[in-house]
Amino acid sequence: MNLPKVGSSSSSKGSGAINIFWIVLFGVFVVVGGVLIGQLAPSMMPVAGSTQAVQVDQLFQVMLVIGGIIFLLVEGLLVLTVILWRQRKGDESDGPPIHGHRTLELVWTIVPAITVLMLTLYAYTVWNNTRAVMPNEQQVGALGQRFAWTFTYDAGLDDLPPSVDVSTLPDAEMQAKLTGGERVEFQSPQLHTWVGQQVNVLMHTDDVNHAFWIPGMRIKQDLLAGLVTNIRFNPIVPGVYRIVCAELCGGGHGDMAGKVTDNGDLVGAWLIVHANEEDYLNEFYYPEIMSILYPPTDPVELGREVIQDYPCSGCHTLHDLGWTGVTGPALDGIGARTQRVAATGSADMADYIHNSIRNPSAYVVPGYNNVMLQFNPNEGQPNYMPDSDLEAIVAYLLTQTQ
């Protein structure tokens, strides 16, 4: 009877080769390999633009080293077990009847437990550090809408450019507001700040949930319908960083991210980190304030400026401004679509555009869904758009005939 050997743990193959030398060599390979894998961490992340990013990247690198060690340990053992313990030709025997090994099992319970405990403590420390509040933070409002971002800044009497003489402002209402100690607001699709300044983004949404994500800053926070949420970050590297929506919000979800046009212009949501406060004031803050204090008198020019403060770019294509959204009909050539005037029963082209903004659901262009925001004329209503802005936007869009 050709009964194969049973329970022969003293097999000459394999087990004899496992001695302390090979175990140490394998251990060195795994640890050195893990450390080397960890060196790849910086190449897997975007530029670290904030103090938060630096700490998160360090945490990632530590986890990548540990992960690399575990990866090489497991994959290495798998390769070795297949090479060493594969059935040899003609060997019909079973392996040795080993059911466990208490010390070994304790080791692979306790070592991972201690590792994740240390990791938890480290991650907790990093998380606390990334949330530290600094004095004199810059507060910016962020409104997420389907499908664009709008950032709101404000200015009081003390914040105005030194060249401005409040007593000579053309807009009497604005003048009264400022001298009365109130602050005036202005909007931008971009978030501007400068190196070393902590930013506190206060966010809300009027429609669905969104998530405010700046990959370069390693920060993300959901916008939750019905709640105001916030997140802070401290930029340290000047430059431009894409702002992305990371929570599914509908068909134009991907269009909420900042874009670059073919000729290199930034469109939509971007974070601009200026080198210092002076640059921030001169390149962004003061010019924006000047444009609301002294609005252009030409309605077309004014319209071209104010339309960019509203969340239109995520859904509409308009080459004059570099917009590429596809959720709604293209605004390119809208001024020449005279057949729509008759189709909607509008008095004229201006009336048609006017109605399309004030009451977009009244007429939906065939092939598109009724998803456009309704812009209302009264302050306090959602999606407030004053008549003055609307008239300017209509005037501007009428010039878009190509």
Partner 1 sequence: MATIAQPLPGTRIEQPKPGLQIGKYFRWSVDHKIIGVQYLALAFTFFIVGGTLAMGIRWELLTPATDLMASGTAYNQLFTMHGTIMIFLWIIPALAGFGNYLVPLMLGAKDMAFPWLNALAFWMIPPAGILLILGYFAGQAEAGWTAYPPLSILYSPGNGQTMWAVAIHLLGLSSILGGINFIVTIRNMRPEGMGWFDMPLFVWAVLATSIIIVLATPFLAGALTLLILDRVAGTSFFNPANGGSVLLWQNVFWFYSHPAVYIMVVPAFGMLSEMLSIHSRKPIFGYRAIALSSLAIALLGFLVWAHHMFTSLTPALRVPFMITSMIIAVPTGIKIFSWIATTWGGRIRLNSAMLFSLGFLSMFVIGGISGVMVAAIPFDIHVHDTYFVVSHFHFVLYGGTVLAIYGGIYHWFPKITGYMLNERLGKWHFWLTWVPFFFTFFPMHMAGMLGMPRRVAVYAPEFQALNQVISISAFVLGLSTFILIYNIVWSLWKRKVVAGPNPWRALTLEWNTSSPPPAFNFYGDPVPFRDPYGYGTKEAWDYLKEQAQELGPSYPANQPPEKAHPVALAPAAGD
Letters for 274-313 (x = contact with partner 1 by CB under 8 A, - = none) are: ----------------------------------------
The residue type of 340 is R
Task: Rule CB under 8 A: choose which of 97, 264, 366, 380 binds partner 1.
Answer: 97
The answer to whether 27 contacts partner 1 (rule: CB under 8 A) is: no
Q: How far, in Å, are 140, 152, 194, 319 from residue 197 at the CA level?
A: 12, 17, 6, 34
The answer to whether 236 contacts partner 1 (rule: CB under 8 A) is: no
Burial (CB count within 10 angstroms: exposed 0-12, middle 13-18, buried 19+), residue 162: exposed
Nearer to partner 1, 114 or 166 (CB): 114
Task: Rule CB under 8 A: choose which of 89, 101, 135, 379 binds partner 1.
Answer: 101
Task: Rule CB under 8 A: choose which of 51, 52, 190, 356 binds partner 1.
Answer: 52
Q: How far, in Å, are 47, 200, 224 from residue 168 at the CA level?
A: 46, 33, 42
The answer to whether 254 contacts partner 1 (rule: CB under 8 A) is: yes
Within 139-168, the residues that bind partner 1 by CB under 8 A are 146
Hey, what are 6's tokens?
Answer: 């049973």
Burial 278-317 (b: 16+ CB within 10 A, else e): ebbbeebbbebbeebbebeeebbebbbbbbbbbbbbbbbb
The residue type of 80 is L
Task: Rule CB under 8 A: choose which of 59, 393, 394, 398 binds partner 1.
Answer: 59
Element (H, E) at 244: strand 244-245
Distance CA 365, CA 181 (A): 46
Burial (CB count within 10 angstroms: exposed 0-12, middle 13-18, buried 19+), residue 245: buried
Q: How far is the CB of 231 from partner 1 (least distance, A)?
A: 9
Nearer to partner 1, 170 or 251 (CB): 251
Q: Which of 222, 184, 226 is nearest to 201 (CA)?
A: 222
Piece of 24-32, 81-89, 264-272, 348-356 that binds partner 1 (CB under 8 A): 81-89
The answer to whether 93 contacts partner 1 (rule: CB under 8 A) is: yes
Hey, what are 219's tokens?
Answer: 């920060």
Nearer to partner 1, 295 or 314 (CB): 314
Q: How far is the CB of 78 from partner 1 (least distance, A)?
A: 6
Give, in degrees to the nearest 5, the angle at Cα 254 between 250 and 260.
Answer: 145
Task: Rule CB under 8 A: choose which of 25, 28, 36, 105 binds partner 1.
Answer: 105
Distance CA 74, CA 86 (A): 17
Q: How far is the CB of 259 from partner 1 (least distance, A)?
A: 8
Q: How far is the CB of 242 from partner 1 (least distance, A)?
A: 6
Sign of torsion, CA 276 281 287 292? positive
The answer to whether 271 contacts partner 1 (rule: CB under 8 A) is: no
The answer to whether 100 contacts partner 1 (rule: CB under 8 A) is: yes
Within 312-341, the residues that bind partner 1 by CB under 8 A are 326-327
Question: What number of chain residues touch partner 1 (CB under 8 A)?
Answer: 93
Letters for 113-132 (x = contact with partner 1 by CB under 8 A, - = none) are: x--xx-xx--xx-xx--xx-
Nearer to partner 1, 145 or 193 (CB): 145
The residue type of 208 is V
Nearer to partner 1, 101 or 180 (CB): 101
Q: How far is the CB of 87 from partner 1 (least distance, A)?
A: 4
Hey, what are 234's tokens?
Answer: 């401290």
Piece of 99-107, 135-143, 170-178, 263-271 that binds partner 1 (CB under 8 A): 99-107
Q: Which of 125, 124, 135, 153 is nearest to 281 (CA)?
A: 153
- If DSSP codes are grouped into helix, strand and coil, which group holds residue 271? strand
Task: Rule CB under 8 A: choose which of 276, 282, 338, 369 binds partner 1.
Answer: 369
